[in-house]
Amino acid sequence: MKRITIFGATGSIGQNTLDLIGRDRDTYKVVALTGDQNIEKLARDAISFDAELAVTADPDRLDDLRQALSGSAVEAAAGPEALIEAASRPADWLMSSIVGSAGLAPGLKALEQGTSLALANKESMVCAGSLMLSTAKAHGASILPVDSEHSAVFQALIGEDMGAVERVIITASGGAFRDWPIEDLANATPEQAATHPNWDMGQRITIDSASMFNKALELIETREFFEIEPSQIEAVVHPESMIHALVGFRDGALMAHVGPPDMRHAIGFALHYPERKSLPVERLDLVKLGQMTFRPADETRWPALRLAREVMEAGGLSGAVFNAAKERALDGFIEKRIGFQQIAPVVEEVLSRVSANRGHIDAAITLDNVIYIDHLARIRADEIMTEIKG
């Protein structure tokens, strides 16, 4: 039996992972499932999958979780330390699908155990890519990308020599406001931003798709994961979301990964790797699709993309600053403290203030330093949002 743990089991990626595992229950033993506020769902799945342990990230919800699990054999735990403990329990495969930089520490802990890490939590690579890769290497663990674009690149690179890679192109749907006139974006609401044309995802990543901050994170993730130069990485808007990424080689060949948008492909690929097994995803009918279109990823419309380039050039801990500033500015937008068009200026100003002390960015990429700089960037973001309001 393959021992499986899912971090962020109650979320969109977590539920898709359970959907795949649930189709083949005899093959898998669920070790731990984690969630946050959605206690009922967490307990329901932990009982139904006969998990050893269920953990909520919120220490104040331990009693609720105990209650929801009463009468079952599932152990209950809560809080950040319980998450780390869950990550250190022996497992063969762990899905990292917490949203935000909160996913970093549990992911690192799993790698330290030598566990294969299926990584949906792109924030881990953005905040501490080199630390993730070196930890995996030191403990003989593998990291399998689950972000659809990075899974696509990973698959296109199998059997290839990295030295022959000229460029990597990741696609973006363009999100909810792709076709809006720029003048209207100032009045865009969180509710409007949280609807995605093609993908069904959690609220935060869906809004990040509308602002293109999701693609910005993914550009940085590409650089960190595949260790290629920023100048080799491009983003292109592809409204149909059928091609997820392309790898260009020095002989001019472009290898594309094509398929209908369904995260169970990338999750299933990581689950069965290095084998390929049958997956319950729709098969693409090219004739029915008819055509695919592409547009430039305009950095004026989506300043997040320009900021991502600056972050890739700056390196060091600037990815952690960028991510934390974005997380906080996104909170501000969801809480209607700032407008949609203020998300990027807040992030840019945080980057500028924190980077003014070069020592902040050039400090070693350790978990402690990432936690420190993440905290500092959030404080700066709050200050800036208060200044805007004032």
Indicate the residue among 38 and 88 with the shorter CB distance to ligand NAD.
38
Based on the shown chain and the rule CB under 6 A, indicate whether residue 101 belongs to the binding site for ligand NAD: no
Burial pattern 370-380, b for ≥16 Cβ within 10 A else e, equals bbebbebbbeb
The whole-angstrom separation of Cα 226 and Cα 249 is 14
Given a contact cutoff of 8 angstroms between Cβ atoms, the answer to whether 295 and 239 are in contact is: yes
Which position has the token pair 């592409």? 294
Residue 203 near residue 176, CB atoms below 8 Å? no
Cβ count within 10 A of residue 332: 22
> Could you tell me the smallest distance in angstroms from the CB atom of residue 7 to ligand NAD?
7
- Exactly one of 4, 13, 91, 172 binds ligand NAD (CB under 6 A); that residue is 13
Segment near ligand NAD (CB under 6 A); pick from 9-17, 86-94, 315-323, 345-353: 9-17
**The entry of ligand NAD, Mg ion, none that residue 332 binds, CB within 5 to 8 Å by partner kind:** none
Euclidean distance between CA atoms 46 and 69, whole angstroms: 8
The two structure tokens encoding residue 389: 């309001």
| Residue type at position 233 | I
Positive or negative CA dihedral for 18, 21, 24, 29?
A: negative
Instruction: Give yes or no for a contact between 254 and 166, defined as CB atoms under 8 angstroms apart.
Output: no
Position 204 contacts ligand NAD (CB under 6 A): yes
**Shortest separation between residue 103's beta carbon and ligand NAD, angstroms:** 6
For position 79 contacting ligand NAD by CB under 6 A, the verdict is no
* Contact status: 308 vs ligand NAD (CB under 6 A): no
Strands 93-96 and 116-119: parallel
Q: Is 327 in the site for ligand NAD (CB under 6 A)?
A: no
Q: Does the footprint of ligand NAD cover residue 12 (CB under 6 A)?
A: yes
Query: In terms of CB distance, is 128 or 349 closer to ligand NAD?
Result: 128
Give min distance, CB of 218 to Mg ion, in A. 5
- Short-list 254, 250, 256, CA closest to 166: 250
Give how many residues touch ligand NAD by CB under 6 A.
Answer: 27
Q: How far is the CB of 148 from Mg ion (least distance, A)?
A: 5
Give bridge partners of residue 28 from the DSSP assignment: 2
- What one-character DSSP code corresponds to residue 21? H
Contact by Cβ (8 Å): 271, 2: no
Contact pick of 31, 69, 98, 325 for ligand NAD (by CB under 6 A): 98
Q: How far is the CB of 341 from Mg ion (least distance, A)?
A: 23
Comparing CB distances to ligand NAD, the nearer of 216 and 338 is 216
The strand pairing partners of 7, in sequence order, are 96
Is 202 near ligand NAD (CB under 6 A)?
Answer: yes
Q: Residue 326 or 360: which CB sits closer to ligand NAD?
A: 326
What ranges in 120-212 are assigned the alpha helix state H? 122-138, 148-157, 190-193, 203-211
Interacting stretch for ligand NAD, rule CB under 6 A, among 35-43, 168-176, 312-320, 342-350?
A: 35-43
Q: Among 17, 97, 115, 155, indicate the residue that binds ligand NAD (CB under 6 A).
A: 97
User: Taking the mean position of all CA atoms in its chain, how far away is CA 308?
Assistant: 15
Q: Binding to ligand NAD by residue 304, rule CB under 6 A?
A: no
User: Which lies closer to ligand NAD via its Cβ, residue 124 or residue 355?
Assistant: 124
Q: Which does 97 bind (CB under 5 to 8 A by kind): Mg ion, ligand NAD, none?
A: ligand NAD
Residue 209 interacts with which of Mg ion, ligand NAD, none, CB < 5 to 8 Å by class: none
By CB under 5 A, name the binding residues for Mg ion. Answer: 147-149
Separation between Cα atoms, residue 138 and residue 88, nearest integer Å? 16
Q: Is 210 in the site for ligand NAD (CB under 6 A)?
A: no
Q: Indicate the residue type of 22.
A: G
| Shortest CB 186 distance to ligand NAD, Å | 26
Instruction: Point out which residues bind ligand NAD (CB under 6 A).
Output: 8-14, 35-36, 38, 57, 97-100, 102, 120-123, 147, 199, 201-202, 204-205, 263
